[in-house]
Amino acid sequence: HDDLKGLHTALMISVNKDGSLNEEGTRQIVRHNIDRMKVDGLYVGGSTGENFLLDTDMKKRVFEVVKDEAGSEVTLIGQIGGTNVYEAIDLAHFVTDLGYDAISAVTPFYYKYNFEEIRDYYKMIAQAVDNRLLIYSIPDLTGVEISVENFKALFEIDNIVGVKFTAADFFLLERLRKACPDELILSGFDEMLLPAVVNGVDGAIGSTYNVNGVKAREIFDLARQNKIDQALEVQHQTNDLIEAILDNGLYPTIKEILKLMGVDAGYNRRPMASASDSQIAQAKAIYDQYLS
């Protein structure tokens, strides 16, 4: 699964003020990530893509527009999971037919499920389509924690090839890497890219790669060459940027920075608020200080 390794942007989408998809802006975000951020792949329909705010038709249109723009230039992973497993299966077919290289499914959330229910959800999706599946684990947002033993049980399901691991739990990451040396582990927190690489992840998926993909690549490459001091220096610079972005509001700020880079990143879809005037001004200050 070498094509799934490396750095993938958790793709933003561009939204019009009325909440509809800004297709041209979304195409620009795709092009920007491929041509200027030079990432290996795009993770489409994730948290950064405001996926859980979209109806099914809009999700499908995002998947279509991204594939149409990206073609086969980079690896495409379609995040199809959510609270409705039947929709997830429908979307899994949809992106597989479009030619996405893999699918990913967030752990089912909102209701509290036992592990058998979670495993059934993954079995239903994995058995429905002929495509590779990455578990999307993000306990901070879903409240769903998965143990090493349970990860191992999920990896036994045919078609499941790994996990997008978005957690700050490095003990769990280290245990998982040791227990499952052959599964793909893609780390999710951009501010912890260096320690994740040191722990042996195969790649990473992140929101800030939309604007900071080049520096992330430096960290990734330096760390893999064992140049840890140099990698840490770039991680320090990167985390000054990420801290400033988080302080100003994560997704609206990334959108405003994209606009300063000439990309029509649009608004956020309600109920997520778009950047206020003061956030826009601060985004400009962040861009000037760290990215221009």
Choose which of 167, 168, 250, 291 interacts with ligand NGF (CB under 6 A).
250
Q: What's the half-sphere exposure (Cβ side, CA atoms, 13 Å) at 149?
A: 2
235 touches ligand NGF by CB under 6 A: no
3-class SS at 104? strand
Helix (H) or strand (E) holding 205: strand 203-206
Distance CA 207, CA 227 (A): 25
8-state DSSP, 183: S
By CB under 6 A, the residues from 48 to 67 that bind ligand NGF are 48
113 has catalytic annotation = no
Distance CA 185, CA 178 (A): 11
CB nearer to ligand NGF: give 15 or 205. Answer: 205
13 touches ligand NGF by CB under 6 A: no
CB nearer to ligand NGF: give 153 or 218. Answer: 218
Window of 30-38, 90-98, 122-130, 134-142 that interacts with ligand NGF by CB under 6 A: 134-142
8-state DSSP, 266: B
Closest CA to 39 of 260, 225, 214, 221: 214
164 has catalytic annotation = yes
Maximum distance among all alpha carbons in the chain?
A: 50
74 touches ligand NGF by CB under 6 A: no
Distance CA 116, CA 3 (A): 31
82 touches ligand NGF by CB under 6 A: no
Write down the least CB distance from residue 16 to ligand NGF, Å.
21
Give first-to-last CA distance, the chain, whole Å: 36
189 touches ligand NGF by CB under 6 A: yes
190 touches ligand NGF by CB under 6 A: yes
CB nearer to ligand NGF: give 11 or 85. Answer: 11
Window of 94-102, 116-124, 206-214, 226-234 that interacts with ligand NGF by CB under 6 A: 206-214
75 touches ligand NGF by CB under 6 A: no
CB nearer to ligand NGF: give 153 or 167. Answer: 167
Q: How far is CA 171 from CA 35, 168, 176, 183, 245, in A?
A: 36, 9, 8, 17, 27
Choose which of 6, 25, 41, 46 interacts with ligand NGF (CB under 6 A).
46
CB nearer to ligand NGF: give 64 or 191. Answer: 191
CB nearer to ligand NGF: give 191 or 264. Answer: 191
Helix (H) or strand (E) holding 106: strand 102-106
26 touches ligand NGF by CB under 6 A: no
* Active-site residue identified among 43, 100, 136, 290: 136
Provide DSSP, 128-155: HSSS-EEEEE-HHHH-----HHHHHHHH
Closest CA to 201 of 179, 189, 216, 184: 184
108 touches ligand NGF by CB under 6 A: no
206 touches ligand NGF by CB under 6 A: yes
Residues that bind ligand NGF (CB under 6 A): 10, 43, 46-48, 138, 140-141, 166, 188-191, 205-208, 242, 246, 250
